[in-house]
Chain A
């Protein structure tokens, strides 16, 4: 099992790379969540023109490969005068991309909770925004959790392509190991194992989060992919 030896030999390197990978995932997820939530709310509650923009954004970012988006930001923007570092470009691309997917998960949940809870909130004098904030979102976010959980895991795997713009993530370290040892298969197998472990850990974390935030008695039957 050569990959095991490689894993041991480049352990420090791989750990650092994994750290960058996790960082990329976290930033992309956070950015994507904030933007995704805004997009979802815009699609549901905003006036026509604004919700149209949100829909267009979602269609575009879900309809094109992340790699193209990444290259567009890192290689394309400079010719328009905006030059971003590799890391910043990666953060941006991952965040903008993830936002489109998260928007759909959140939108589905908000719409499921929406109309009757909105009515109940308004009936005691809460404003629309207050109802969204204190009544709908707390329930919608919990409802979205099982299907939304696919996104952090998907994002973790998606980050692997950013090594193509020389971001020093786990894949970049694998490439380096492959160059040094002339053993590409072993190197990539080794990081494959590391990615797998990270995915398992993330999965366990998400399951724990689901349990922790469960509303007693409110059984939401949603299928986990």
Chain B
């Protein structure tokens, strides 16, 4: 039985009088790939950003391994060394080359010596297939390449869990594949991942568990088989049907 890496209890987030989500419970075990799906604006991205404390939740608790990271006095910067995040808009450091982007955290946060950091950074870039672009600036890379550098940058910190916030939503269709492929390999290698995405093919093939969120709460949760072929709720089936139709993949309906 693999142990939980991320435990979320009763998480709540509000903006003024709007409740984004309320009383969310979630457990992410080691090696799991959790895919969160749902209509836009249901708080999926906000939830993800709470997991690494970029957004502060208004209620509830989050544990990373045994440490409650929502407790008062937690060193957030330290926590974020162990949680990797990949953004929809890549958010690479524009003034640095691909290699320097990956190196920055190693040198400034982990205080690694230059040589060591450079070697490790190159390793990570190789892992995502971009060793030959190490000296390029983000502005000189395609969207798919930029995102892969983003993944390398997060991986370089050796995180316990990787969070992906709609990693392919800002990409041209033909570039989505290269990023999903990197993510698939990552999952197969045993990385614990939480992915917010609309890519149903990826969800079906790679996810250990799919979480369907709508209007700020979890409607249904289960294995891909469960959700796609035996959904408990009509809304689940409706949403999956709509999305897979949108993305051109036909599903055999129950």
Contact = CB atoms under 8 A, between A and B. Distances in A.
Interface stretch (A17-25, A73-81, A112-120, A158-166): A112-120
Contact of A123 (B85, B138, B140): B85
Main secondary structure of the interface of A (DSSP, over half): helix
Given A215-B94, A217-B139, A124 B54 contact: no
B139 A218 contact: yes
Q: Which bracket fits the contact residues of B?
A: 20 to 34
A130 B108 contact: yes
A125 B76 CA distance: 8
B109 interface: yes
B139 A219 contact: yes
Contacts, number: 79
Interface residues of A, number: 22
Contact of B109 (A125, A139, A217): A125
B108 A126 contact: yes
B105 A125 contact: yes
Contact of B93 (A135, A142, A216, A217): A135
A124 B92 contact: no
A216 B91 contact: no
Interface string B16-33: 000000000000000000
A9 interface: no
A138 interface: yes
B91 A120 contact: yes
A127 interface: yes
Contacts of B81: 124-125
A134 interface: yes
A95 B76 CA distance: 39
Nearest to B102: A124
Contact of A127 (B77, B138, B139, B141): B77
A122 interface: yes
A142 B104 contact: no
Interface string B161-180: 00000000000000000000
B157 A125 contact: yes
B104 A125 contact: no
Max chain A C-beta neighbours (<10 A), residue from B81, B91, B95, B104: B95
Contacts of A134: 104, 108
A119 B77 contact: no
B95 A125 contact: no
B154 interface: yes
A215 B100 CA distance: 13
Interface string B97-110: 00000001100110
A-B residue pairs, 6 tightest by C-beta = A217-B139, A120-B91, A125-B81, A124-B105, A217-B140, A123-B85
